[in-house]
Structure 1
Amino acid sequence: MAITRSTATFFNRVNNRFGFSLFLLYKLPSAWISGVRAGAASEESCTTSVPYRWLSQNPFRSTYFACLAMAAEMSSGILAMGHVYAAPAKVSMLVTGMEGIFLKKAKSKTYFTCNDGASIRDAIAQTVATGEPVALTVEVTGKSKDATEIARFRITWSFKKASS
């Protein structure tokens, strides 16, 4: 009997704050130390956050750009991981490009949202069906609590069906 894995199972795990915090500590310790956290995650959308604090700041009294980039990448990466988790075949994923535009100084917690879950799901389905690698660029927007736009990222993911 085949075991089917669903995106719902994966996103339930991500939305468990304690469990996902342990995952970060084990797999992405630099993100955990700097305070990057997952917020709400579903098949279509994921929001992450990074605080402005001593471990994530730069000398100019704002959040260090690398911490902002980690949170942005994680927003799209959680969506990708969820759809790879539920794929009917093994799929590898890799960031192959990133472009960031910084609009305001991040002087408080910044929230990053990626709403491209459907595009990610379709790209993974395409690589499973054809066996060919698929590259997809997704948009991630970072905003402060008062909805001021802090940064915009374009992250390019490559998905490839793994050899059997």
Structure 2
Amino acid sequence: MAVSISKFNAFTFFKLPSAWWCGVRLRHLDDNKAVVTVKHKWFNQNPFNSMFWAVQGMAAELTTGAMMIDQIKNRGKNISMLVANNNANFSKKATGKITFTCEDGHLIKEALDKAIATGEGQTVWMKSVGVNTDGVVVSTFNFEWTMRLKT
């Protein structure tokens, strides 16, 4: 890992302030897995007394994006990244502490290897699953990331 968890969370304060103020926090990051938590509170809720879907989306996206940022930084290459597409499924009201986990880091490695070797842009779909403290899935997000080597 190129960056400590605390430094990454400080980064969110300056570069992703909406996520930081909503309580989105990175808890674990390695080459294969990222874990982010967020707690349901009055300022991130919807009118139905559960967490607003966009707050869940910020936490879910951070699991995928943190791994992408970390792996790009470790390569030492000038590589751009951008979310091109996403979809989500909401299966239960999100209340309490929600933990989002993505275990698709291996997909980033493969796409980065190919982007660097060929110079061509690559895309990768990554999944992040949010569970409540009872272990029940509340939402599942999929993000299509694009990456390309800058010249």
The one-letter code of the counterpart of 2:45 is Q
The alpha carbon displacement at 1:9 in A equals: 2.5
Runs of 4+ with deviation above 4 angstroms = none
Please state if 1:89 is matched with 2:77: yes
RMSD: 1.0
Indicate conservation of the 8 Å contact 1:111/1:143, yes or no: yes
Q: Aligned with 2:117: secondary structure?
A: helix
Identity between Structure 1 and Structure 2 (%) = 32
Post-superposition shift, 1:41? 1.0
Is 1:45 the counterpart of 2:33? The answer is yes
The one of 125, 129, 146 equivalent to 1:158 is: 146
Post-superposition shift, 1:109? 1.2
Q: TM-score, normalised on structure 2?
A: 0.96
The equivalences for 1:3-82 within 5 A come to: 8-10=1-3, 13=4, 15-16=5-6, 19-82=7-70
How far is 1:88 from its partner?
A: 4.0
**AA at the equivalent of 1:134:** Q
Contact 2:40 2:97 in 1 (8 A): yes
What residue ranges of structure 2 are gaps of 5+ in the alignment? none
C-alpha distance after superposition, 1:94-148 (max 9, x if no partner):
0001100000000111110000011111111111110100010011111011110
Is the CA contact (8 Å cut-off) linking 1:110 and 1:142 kept in structure 2? yes
**Paired residue for 1:137?**
125
Q: Which amino acid aligns with 2:37?
A: S
Q: CA 1:21–1:89 in structure 2 vs 1: closer, same or farther (change >3 Å)?
A: closer
CA contact under 8 A between 1:87 and 1:125: conserved in structure 2? Answer: no
**Residue 149 (structure 1) aligned to one of 132, 137, 140:** 137
Q: What is the match of residue 112 of structure 2?
A: 124
**TM-score, normalization: structure 1?**
0.89
Q: In 2, distance between residues paired with 1:135 and 1:99?
A: 15
Between the aligned partners of 1:61 and 1:88, the Cα distance in structure 2 is 44
